[in-house]
Chains A and B, each alone.
Chain A
Amino acid sequence: AKLHLKKIKKKRENFRSYFLYPSQQQQEEIATKKLRLTKPSKSAALHIDLCKATSPADALQYLLQFARKPVEAESVEGVVRILLEHYYKENDPSVRLKIASLLGLLSKTTGFSPDCIMDDAINILQNEKSHQVLAQLLDTLLAIGTKLPENQAIQMRLVDVACKHLTDTSHGVRNKCLQLLGNLGSLEKTVTKDAEGLATRDVQKIIGDYFSDQDPRVRTAAIKAMLQLHERGLKLHQTIYNQACKLLSDDYEQVRSAAVQLIWVVSQLYPESIVPIPSSNEEIRLVDDAFGKICHMVSDGSWVVRVQAAKLLGSMEQVSSHFLEQTLDKKLMSDLRRKRTAHERAKELYSSGEFSSGRKWGDDAPKEEVDTGAVNLIESGACGAFVHGLEDEMYEVRIAAVEALCMLAQSSPSFAEKCLDFLVDMFNDEIEEVRLQSIHTMRKISNNITLREDQLDTVLAVLEDSSRDIREALHELLCCTNVSTKEGIHLALVELLKNLTKYPTDRDSIWKCLKFLGSRHPTLVLPLVPELLSTHPFFDTAEPDMDDPAYIAVLVLIFNAAKTCPTMPALFSDHTFRHYAYLRDSLSHLVPALRLPGRKLVSSAVSSTIISQEDPSQQFLQQSLERVYSLQHLDPQGAQELLEFTIRDLQRLGELQSELAGVADFSATYLRCQLLLIKALQEKLWNVAAPLYLKQSDLASAAAKQIMEETYKMEFMYSGVENKQVVIIHHMRLQAKALQLIVTARTTRGCGMFLSKMYFITDLPHLQDSFVDKLLDLMPRLMTSKPAEVVKILQTMLRQSAFLHLPLPEQIHKASATIIEPAGESDNPLRFTSGLVVSLDVDATLEHVQDPQNTVKVQVLYPDGQAQMIHPKPADFRNPGPGRHRLITQVYLSHTAWTEPCQVEVRLLLSYNSSARIPKCPWMEGGEVSPQVETSIEGTIPFSKPVKVYIMPKPARR
């Protein structure tokens, strides 16, 4: 353990020993001595056990028991010796197998260098007869080899051993040998000095020879080994390509699957090489050829291979557009005559101006004759690969195909345009996942495309889907879709309104969708305005109901379009202006500031200054923070004042500038902590005797408590907090704890609690003049002195310690949550029979929450003070965009009977666990922290406004 501590300063080391082992220093010495005594005993016990074993089954049992407990790095070698000794004596292969596997496990122990056991391992390998044990020993050697990546000589030797056993008759041994070669085969051809005796081998060629092994498992292992070589950075030869292509027609699916991967790898390495097309004189680029071959695998017999192939297609971006577009092409014919696909027909109909005609009998009648010679039923190339992939029986293949389509479309706009029809078709897939995936895909490529009206029609039809996820994904898609005509916009609006009437809960999502739709297509909305607002040139029409969500939806569309279309407001009627003013106020996030005639252009001025003043506000933030650092030199009164108005400034800044809100809040919180600390220390009660003090200690202890809370908030509620900030926050918390100690110590006795809690202090780097620095200096004295003295020392230290500068992180966002549902407006209580449960749908959006699956909880507070915490399922969280999450879950409520309805509070909590951060400390590295620690909750921070729900548990009827 001392090894890890070398870098840490002496006093820090001492300090840690106090806290980790709260006993005296001498005791530690004794402990290490004890350790040394127990070292041989571990192996000795094993030795005794193994000698006691009368039968192989017994020995196996002992070994199994032994394997359950971890072995310290120091005693590994001893144990290994014992095991080896026993190995030589053992006749039973199963025991030898277990020993071999134990050797492998032991050599993985951290802090143990396994080169000492390699000779023995190789030695026993040579005399081993059992194939299974042999394979296990090779596995052990692999573990040893991977543990010593720097040692060239050992690697060479192991490769040599592997080559020797490659001719073994058992597939298991050959498998392991190939694995060994793949993992350890040398990358450089140059022979290093210490390995001169051994000739370097061409690992690639050796592995390549096993591509034609008789056992499919060995063939697979050979390909995998080759891929492993590639992963380790060895450049594969191009000659492998032809070998791999042959494997594509292998009888076994795992071989084909691996071969597809290998072909993909080679195609990425040598995209521009030229390969001949068999049985013709032509030549094509390797990446095109590989693309064609992988496309062919999309119609393989095994779905595993199909998934693999479809996935890989997506990442072949260098392929020529000619080949790429073939993947969507399937030449149709009927009775030997050329037929147009439904897509082509739809396009034609559209371009001829006749949209959506009914299908007639013979509408799809085939046209011209097909030249029988020219039809190619089995294409060598990429023809129709995606058509097949998207029609596949297994939804895994279809999803993979959609993903691949997405990736390829992102890199090629022309392809994106072509694949649209197919993606739109996928919106009607029978599996929801596939539908969702294709909608997401469409959204991702929406920059490259413009939807035709007939396509839009199909897209919009999905708005009626009963699945909320699908509808919301579709709204997101519509947000960033380009529509080509005003009819398209109209259609979209009509369908969205239909959606709104059918599913009123989609209100917000639809409004948001229309906001973007409007701002993207101002010129298309313009001609629709009179119709949408139902204005009439001569007559005044009735004023629409302002509370109608559909009317609001229309207005959102129009106002957003009007933002960039100055002629639009001329078409508005009087009440529209009034409604604008109302909506601008109530739904400011949906309705932009407009340049309206006869109104002040306040809002537009603001919008223009935002851009120019961005730097000044940043500057302002910096300046006010810097100002605070002169705090040290001020008298307490002045410091308090300075802090107070800086906090106020920061808060105001955060409100004004949403992009600086995170930083401003974060620093304001920190300053508030400091302010509280100063105030608490400022109390003039410190010198008063304890009994008198007791009454008025409230302020100080409350301050300490609040500082603690705030520091937890700072640590866990902000995303983007780095280690250096965490350190400062911890420091602040330490001070708060010291304060708490002082307060409590004056009344009660004992400070052991404080000290033992403070072990995270070692995490803090050296901070000049800080509290911790002083604390470390005085630690020896603290340990020996009496509680009263400790309190005194701490008190003075607290007073003297300097205010630490908080470095600002680059990106910081405060986590926030809004509960959309329950809205808390309903006056109708939720009635249920007492003792039974009622489910409450909770729908909330979370912003900037890291790992919400583990941290976000729902809390229900009953009027009697009973609180219930609910852990939502991981599947309840959706991730609609970066930094955003959506929680849609059900909360079960239950209570005993009430006489009248009452409100329960529902709110969201952010749970935290500060020990989860501990493994970051250097001296804990490699130490095993059980996952249990990470999931346990230390405390929670409420981070959403509570919502009140009216419930009424009725007594059960008898």
Chain B
Amino acid sequence: RYSTGFGRFRWLAEGGAGQDVGRSCILVSIAGKNVMLDCGMHMGFNDDRRFPDFSYITQNGRLTDFLDCVIISHFHLDHCGALPYFSEMVGYDGPIYMTHPTQAICPILLEDYRKIAVDKKGEANFFTSQMIKDCMKKVVAVHLHQTVQVDDELEIKAYYAGHVLGAAMFQIKVGSESVVYTGDYNMTPDRHLGAAWIDKCRPNLLITESTYATTIRDSKRCRERDFLKKVHETVERGGKVLIPVFALGRAQELCILLETFWERMNLKVPIYFSTGLTEKANHYYKLFIPWTNQKIRKTFVQRNMFEFKHIKAFDRAFADNPGPMVVFATPGMLHAGQSLQIFRKWAGNEKNMVIMPGYCVQGTVGHKILSGQRKLEMEGRQVLEVKMQVEYMSFSAHADAKGIMQLVGQAEPESVLLVHGEAKKMEFLKQKIEQELRVSCYMPANGETVTLPTSLSIPVGISLGLLKREMAQGLLPEAKKPRLLHGTLIMKDSNFRLVSSEQALKELGLAEHQLRFTCRVHLHDTRKEQETALRVYSHLKSILKDHCVQHLPDGSVTVESILIQAAAPSEDPGTKVLLVSWTYQDEELGSFLTSLLKKGLPQAPS
């Protein structure tokens, strides 16, 4: 049993340097089955490094033969971006598993990405639209908590993960061994999604992301309140609010947030979102209500929360309209497109405001204004003076350190493997997991293979008759204590059965042999045999209170089925010989009795 971590390329950007969106791809071998978890791409590269190195999996031979299945946790490109390349260009024909929302949204994002890469940047050797379609044909969609049998032995099951619509955690199980892969997840609910949840499935290994391994986040409520207050104040002053977002995920969360606030506060100021991808995405959010949070699910009967009342599609011309308004525009970092256009129009008025809901890469306009620049050089040597207010509001949908610990606590795995994180931060979390949860923890580097031994448990069938007999003998079995049980183990046709010895004899057609142990114990006793026997009897009677000790008329003593006879050897009248005889079944008691008798009898009371 081993797990292979490879292609764990993910640098995270929390608060500063090295922001990059990584690619995520993990190969797990479990009891002879090979499963690939996620197939992400790296957005920072434009060459071959963009996709994982699939030749690593198998040097020669087809991928389809090697891999039993591919599982995609959610639709973010760093988790699914390399999928068409992998299936169509490298060649994989096996099943690809993902949830229904992921299946719906994933091709839109892939297509969008393809357009930018090929049509705008003019890249060659890239997958085509047809390839995306062909790839999606290989997808098998799964429901939450549905156990899918990939083949006779391998089964997978999806759990809710929060994070984005349709994100799931997967349990992969072969026989008694199992792995849980979390993908990205969120342990605190937000305005449109619930929190990740897993049952006590006790996997052998839990592979978890560790984006925020060293962060404990504040409550979301303060941030939400701040956000709403700022928007509200600006709008009341008559200013315009620009919120640059990416099409999916946070955009919908913020839309819901503003929509409910507008509803609550009875506001009439228009809210717009940029058309195109966002509009399409909203459509899917409308469809997948069961994947959203409690509030949206509950009010769905009256009204679908994603059918916004106050939020309308944006038109270019609206930007010049007088009066207050709120606009969601893509892209999120203000580096191009509609958001930048609007920003240029509104930047000069100090009544207006721009709210950056996420992190911005260095070099983008977003980053510049966040770091306090007030004069921006635009194309054509124009200088844009930024008078509008600039706000930063972080809305992140990853679990923080506490959340990761909570999930590990919920699933109770034997060991944990951390992926998606900076080595230094993961070191801290690893230490904590080992200290506080007493669970072994691994953090493999890219391309590194971790092998985990598992204790193999072999199921043995027990006959009901035997079990009942054993139950009847003693008290109820205690759930967590091992118990001794007599029986015969039969191995036949590669299955194991535990049956009573009588039945085993019958099945195998064997005759029963009696096995008896006898032992002589020499006692120093001058009295007659009968008296010796009587003394033995009274001695045993006083010691073995729980057992049935009997004195038979022929002078012998029995303890349960053990027979004790006293005899006088002719040569020495001073010693008596005790013959102790017991069957194989009573070995325990028999050996105890002999050792007891060997100690001698107590002095008879005079």
A534 on interface, CB distance cutoff 8 Å:
no
Contact B214 A378 (CB under 8 A): no
Decide if A299 touches B436 in the complex (CB within 8 Å). no
- Output the least CB separation between A464 and chain B (Å): 4
Contacting pair A466 B15 (CB below 8 A): no
Cβ–Cβ contact A377 & B402, under 8 A: yes
| Residue A354 lies at the interface, judged by CB distance under 8 Å to chain B | no
Which of A386-394, A643-651, A773-781 is the interface stretch?
A386-394
Given contacts A358-B391, A377-B436, A378-B405, contact A336 B428 (CB under 8 A): yes
B201-234 interface (Cβ within 8 A of A): 214-226, 228-230, 232
Instruction: Using A336-B425, A391-B188 as known contacts, say yes or no to A301 and B265 having CB atoms under 8 A apart.
Output: no
Say whether B484 faces chain A, with CB atoms less than 8 Å apart: no
> In the bound complex, do residue B191 and residue A430 qualify as a contact, i.e. CB atoms below 8 Å apart?
yes
Determine if B15 and A334 form an interchain contact, defined as CB atoms under 8 angstroms apart.
Answer: yes
Contact yes or no, B405 A377, CB < 8 A: yes
> What residues of A have a CB within 8 angstroms of the CB of B552 in the complex?
none
- Nearest A residue to B370 via CB reads A361
The verdict on A425 contacting B406 (CB below 8 Å), with A334-B214, A336-B428, A394-B294 known, is no
Restricting to A92-122, which residues have a CB under 8 Å from any CB of B?
none
A841 lies within 8 A of chain B by Cβ: no
Cβ A395 vs Cβ B295 within 8 A = yes
Select A333's contact among B214, B219, B477, beta carbons within 8 Å. B214
On chain B, the residues within 8 Å of A214 by CB distance are 476-477, 479
CA distance A333 to B232 in the complex (A): 30
Assess whether A330 is interfacial by the CB under 8 Å rule: yes
Contact of B476 among A167, A387, A429 (CB under 8 A): A167
B515 at the interface (CB under 8 A from A): no
Chain B minimum-CB-distance residue to A168: B476
Residue of B nearest to A434 (CB): B295
What residues on A are CB-neighbors of B410 within 8 Å? Answer: 301
Among A214, A372, A430, the most chain B Cβ lie within 10 Å of the Cβ of: A430
Give the chain B neighbours of A422 by CB distance below 8 A.
Answer: 219
Given A167-B475, A342-B226 in contact, is the A361-B372 Cβ separation under 8 Å?
yes
By a CB distance below 8 angstroms, the chain A residues around B432 are: 375, 377
Contacts A342-B223, A361-B370, A394-B294; A464 near B265 (Cβ below 8 A): yes
**Are B224 and A428 interface neighbours, CB within 8 A?**
yes
A461 closest partner in B (C-beta)? B229
Decide if B293 touches A393 in the complex (CB within 8 Å). yes
Cα of A458 to Cα of B217 in the assembled complex, Å: 22
Of chain A, the residue at the smallest CB distance from B478 is A212
* B492 on interface, CB distance cutoff 8 Å: no
Residues of A within 8 A of B406 (CB): 299, 378
Checking B191, B263, B389, B475 against A358 with a beta-carbon cut-off of 8 angstroms, the contacting residue is B389
Interface residues of A in 495-509 (CB under 8 A from B): 502
Q: Does A213 contact B (CB under 8 A)?
A: yes
Which residues 314-367 of A have a CB within 8 angstroms of B? 330-336, 339, 341-343, 358-363, 365-366
Contact partners of A378 in chain B: CB under 8 A: 402, 405-406, 409, 436-437
Q: Which residues of B contact A394 (CB under 8 A)?
A: 294
Q: Which of B199, B265, B393, B480 contacts A359 (CB under 8 A)?
A: B393
Interface residue? A251 (CB, 8 A) = yes
Size of interface on A: residues with Cβ below 8 Å to B: 53
Tell me the bound Cα distance from A169 to B471 in angstroms. Answer: 9
A465: interface (CB < 8 Å): yes
Is residue A619 within 8 Å, beta carbon to beta carbon, of the partner chain? no
- Chain A contact residues: helix, strand, loop or mixed: loop
Contact of B294 among A362, A376, A393 (CB under 8 A): A393
Chain A residue nearest to B391 (CB atoms) is: A359
A356-410 residues with Cβ-Cβ distance < 8 A to B are 358-363, 365-366, 372, 375-378, 387, 390-395
Inside 8 A of A64's CB, which chain B residues have their CB?
none
| Cα separation A429 to B261 with both chains bound (whole Å) | 10
User: What residues on A are CB-neighbors of B194 within 8 Å?
Assistant: 393
B219 touching A376 by the CB < 8 A rule?
no
Closest to B193 in A: A393
Contact with A along B1-22 (1 / 0, CB 8 A): 0000000000000110000000
Q: Does B95 contact A (CB under 8 A)?
A: no
What is the bound-complex CA distance between A394 and B195, given in angstroms?
10
Is A431 on the interface with B (CB-CB < 8 A)? yes
Most buried by A among B219, B220, B392, B477: B219
Q: Decide: A466 near B219, CB < 8 A? Known: A336-B214, A360-B392, A376-B436.
A: no
CA distance A212 to B475 in the complex (A): 13
Q: Are A301 and B197 in contact (CB under 8 A)?
A: yes
A391 touches B15 (CB 8 A): no
The answer to whether B371 has its CB under 8 Å from any CB of chain A is: yes
**A372, A458, A467: which contacts B431 (Cβ < 8 A)?**
A372
CA A392 to CA B197, docked complex, whole Å: 12
- Which of A251, A341, A378, A458 has the largest number of chain B CB atoms within 10 A? A378
Chain B nearest CB from A498 CB (Å) reads 10
In this assembly, does B129 line the interface, its C-beta being within 8 Å of a C-beta of chain A?
Answer: no
Report how far A375 CA is from B194 CA in the complex, Å: 27
By a CB distance below 8 angstroms, the chain A residues around B15 are 334-335, 365-366
Question: Considering the chains assembled together, what is the distance between the CA atoms of A431 and B405 in angstroms?
Answer: 28
Residues of B within 8 A of A467 (CB): 264
CA distance A426 to B295 in the complex (A): 15
Measured between C-beta atoms, what is the minimum distance from A884 to chain B in Å?
A: 26
Q: Does B60 contact A (CB under 8 A)?
A: no
Q: Which of B265, B266, B371, B401 contacts A361 (CB 8 A)?
A: B371
The minimal Cβ–Cβ distance linking B124 to chain A, given in whole angstroms, is: 39
State whether A361 touches B392 (Cβ < 8 A).
Answer: yes
A393 touches B189 (CB 8 A): yes
Q: How distant is the Cα of A681 from the Cα of B440 in the complex, in angstroms?
A: 99
Given the known inter-chain contacts A332-B216, A376-B436, A428-B224, please indicate yes or no for A359 contacting B392, CB distance below 8 A: yes
Give the residue of A360, A377, A465 whose beta carbon is less than 8 angstroms from that of B401.
A377
Q: Which residues of A contact B575 (CB under 8 A)?
A: none
With beta carbons under 8 angstroms apart, the residue of B219, B295, B371, B437 that contacts A425 is B219
Chain A: minimal CB distance from B487 (Å): 19
Residues of B within 8 A of A465 (CB): 264-265
Chain B residues, Cβ within 8 Å of A375: 432
CB of B342, distance to nearest CB on chain A (Å):
20
Nearest CB in chain A to that of B192: its residue: A430
Interface mask (A410-440 → B, CB under 8 Å = 1, otherwise 0): 0000000000001001101111000000000
User: By the criterion CB–CB under 8 Å, are B295 and A431 in contact?
Assistant: yes
Q: Does B200 contact A (CB under 8 A)?
A: yes
- A63–B14 Cα gap in the complex (Å)? 72
Contacts of A334 in B (CB 8 A): 14-15, 214-216
Indicate if B260 sits at the interface (CB-CB under 8 A): yes
Tell whether B105 is near chain A: CB-to-CB under 8 Å. Answer: no
Quick check: B199 and A301 within 8 Å, CB to CB?
yes
Which of A's residues lie within 8 Å of B, judged by CB?
Answer: 167, 169, 212-214, 251, 299, 301, 330-336, 339, 341-343, 358-363, 365-366, 372, 375-378, 387, 390-395, 422, 425-426, 428-431, 458, 461, 464-467, 502
17 extra interchain contacts, Cβ-Cβ under 8 A, other than A331-B216, A333-B216, A341-B219? A212-B478, A213-B479, A251-B200, A330-B216, A342-B223, A358-B389, A359-B393, A375-B432, A378-B409, A378-B437, A387-B219, A391-B188, A393-B189, A426-B221, A461-B229, A465-B264, A466-B266
- Pairs across A and B, CB under 8 Å, 5 listed: A335-B14, A341-B219, A378-B437, A391-B220, A428-B224
Q: Which residues of B contact A (CB under 8 A)?
A: 14-15, 188-189, 191, 194-195, 197-200, 214-226, 228-230, 232, 260, 263-266, 293-295, 370-372, 389-393, 401-402, 405-406, 409-410, 425, 428, 431-432, 436-437, 468, 471, 475-480
The 9 A-B pairs at the shortest CB distance, nearest first, are namely A342-B222, A393-B189, A425-B221, A361-B370, A466-B266, A464-B265, A336-B214, A361-B392, A377-B405
